Chain A
Amino acid sequence: MKRLLGVALGILTAIGGFVDIGDLVTNAVVGSRFGLSLAWVVLVGVVGICLFANMSGRVAAVSGRATFEVIRERMGARAGLANLAASFLINLMTVTAEIGGIALALQLASGVSYMLWVPFALIAVWLVIWRVKFSIMENVAGLVGLSLVVFAVALFLLKPDWGSLASQALHPSVPSEEGPGTYWYYAIALFGAAMTPYEVFFFSSGAVEERWKVKDLVQSRINVLLGFPLGGFLSLSIAACAAVVLLPAGISVTTLSQVALPVIQAGGQLALAALLLGVVAATFGAALETTLSSGYTLAQFFGWSWGKFRRPAEAARFHVAMIVVLLAGVAVLTTGVDPILVTEYSVVFSAIALPLTYLPILIVANDPQYMGKHVNGRAVNIVAFIYLVIILVASVAAIPLMIATGAGA
């Protein structure tokens, strides 16, 4: 039983990575414009994140070292700092977006203005980081976030043409209204969203928080193999719902309420309630994950003491950094910027930062001084190397595509 409940870390990491506010909207946008013709990207992304999260979890369990410590140690101070700057910026953008996302979801649920919910969301997220035990946090946020499975339920209730959905997925092609440039731009965006570095930072630091050791390697693997495919499944459900309801009607997705349309159509108010609960929980979980990631990356680069398992008094710089990040995020939100727009950009930037994060992990996972006899097997290395090439290609193509397509317009 403990094994089963012990998958909360994987689920929470995946929820924050696959169905945070940005991904919710991006998946709906993709579904409404491309149907399921980009489903293969989600699959590729899920395999990729499983591979690398498993490696970083293994490194953390065997050597006790979380990912950013490894990044600095392998790449040196200069490259490590560049990586830190990029990751920190992405984290900050995402924290901003998630706090905004919590407020948007609460606005949708209650009708009370979004701006009034922002301070509430800020305090709530901070309180959990300040006082709540890691295990309770991951269990609650992870389990409640699973109510997003309402998208899958809604999909069944909508009685879609399964054959047409399957052919979109299995025979991907660029729809007539879209160009190949936008198709590949969204492919990179989805890939970047699936493999966002903060997922790996959070998962490996969470492994240290949970005190995983060599005997927990199986636990780590179960977390990965259960959590991320589940995240991918939720992603695909959202896209499929949009494909079934919004694509034929030509409805474009720009707000959260449009994301909810298919669910309301399928299951009415009850389904909407489940949806809102799931969205609040998922964005809350993502806010926790990204705020903690900013703390983890800073602390691991500079060598500060960190961790929710320590009293705040024993990890002072870690907590101060996170308070600053939260306040900065809220400051950005008060300028009135649309949080969903912020996150769509941050996803593309994640794709650019991917090689810097994954190369050191791959190298350390092969280092006997860190891993003892738990170094990568040959098969894992071959697949990981192929992914490294894919990641490099995506990273290089991201900016030109973004400029050429006007960020997917």
Chain B
Amino acid sequence: MILNDILGRDVMDSTGQRLGEVSDVRFALDAAPAQLLSRARMVGVVVCPRTATSFLGYERMDVNQPWPLAQLLRWRHRGSFLVLWEDIAVMGPDGVRLRSAFMAYESTLPR
């Protein structure tokens, strides 16, 4: 599986209702340290209801300038949420289908 297989694809819930597109895939380096960096475990998928195009960095909470652009991009990406790996039923070029009892989490990055 490569990331291009799922980036930008539709995300649907278990009934087939479209929820948005995959705008990013989140990883955490929280396993035991390996030789250099620890393993990058997939945490989940960031879903954007409108568009998958790049956040240009405003996802990070501390980038607020230039103000008009930040506001515009935050508005375009409003309603984005994170879905954890455990709630994904199928992933592939035809889209991502979630399990019936999935939970939506905030997608802003911890810092």
CB distance from A359 to the nearest CB of B (A): 8
Contact B63 A74 (CB under 8 A): no
Instruction: Tally A residues with Cβ within 8 Å of B.
Output: 16
Q: Beyond A74-B54, A75-B54, A76-B54, is A381–B65 a contact (Cβ under 8 Å)? A: yes
Select one of B53, B54, B63, B67 contacting A367, CB under 8 A.
B63
- Quick one: which of B57, B67, B69 has the most chain A CB within 10 A? B57
Contact A366 B62 (CB under 8 A): no
> A362 interface residue, CB < 8 Å from B?
yes
Q: Beyond A74-B56, A363-B56, is A385–B66 a contact (Cβ under 8 Å)? A: yes
> A384 interface residue, CB < 8 Å from B?
yes
A305 to B52 CA separation, bound complex (whole angstroms)? 31
Instruction: Find residues 46-105 in chain B having any chain A CB closer than 8 Å to their own CB.
Output: 53-54, 56-57, 60, 62-63, 65-69
Say whether chain B's binding surface is mostly helix, strand, loop, or mixed: loop
| Chain A residues near B65 (CB-CB < 8 A) | 366, 375-376, 378, 381
Contact A384 B66 (CB under 8 A): yes
Say whether chain A's binding surface is mostly helix, strand, loop, or mixed: helix
CB distance from B71 to the nearest CB of A (A): 12
| Chain A residues near B63 (CB-CB < 8 A) | 366-368
Instruction: Tally B residues with Cβ within 8 Å of A.
Output: 12
> A369 interface residue, CB < 8 Å from B?
yes
- Quick one: which of A74, A363, A378 has the most chain B CB within 10 A? A363
| Chain B residues near A378 (CB-CB < 8 A) | 65
CB distance from A150 to the nearest CB of B (A): 42
Contact with B along A178-204 (1 / 0, CB 8 A): 000000000000000000000000000
Contact A381 B66 (CB under 8 A): yes
A362 to B56 CA separation, bound complex (whole angstroms)? 11
A369 to B57 CA separation, bound complex (whole angstroms)? 10
| Chain B residues near A375 (CB-CB < 8 A) | 65
With both beta carbons as reference points, the residue of chain B lying nearest to A375 in the complex is identified as: B65
Contact A368 B62 (CB under 8 A): yes
| Chain B residues near A366 (CB-CB < 8 A) | 63, 65-66
A369 to B53 CA separation, bound complex (whole angstroms)? 21
A150 to B6 CA separation, bound complex (whole angstroms)? 61
| Chain B residues near A363 (CB-CB < 8 A) | 56-57, 66, 69
CB distance from B13 to the nearest CB of A (A): 27
A385 to B66 CA separation, bound complex (whole angstroms)? 8
Select one of A367, A381, A384, A385 contacting B57, CB under 8 A.
A367
Instruction: Find residues 9-56 in chain B having any chain A CB closer than 8 Å to their own CB.
Output: 53-54, 56
What 9 A-B pairs have minimum CB-CB distances, sorted nearest first? Answer: A366-B65, A381-B66, A76-B54, A385-B66, A381-B65, A367-B57, A363-B56, A367-B63, A74-B56
Question: What is A's interface to B at a CB cutoff of 8 Å?
Answer: 74-76, 362-364, 366-369, 375-376, 378, 381, 384-385
Contacts A366-B63, A369-B57, A381-B66 given; 13 further ones with Cβ under 8 A? A75-B54, A76-B53, A76-B54, A362-B66, A363-B69, A364-B57, A366-B66, A368-B63, A369-B60, A376-B65, A384-B66, A385-B68, A385-B69
Question: What is B's interface to A at a CB cutoff of 8 Å?
Answer: 53-54, 56-57, 60, 62-63, 65-69
Q: List 6 A-B contacts (CB under 8 A).
A: A75-B56, A76-B53, A366-B65, A369-B60, A381-B65, A381-B67
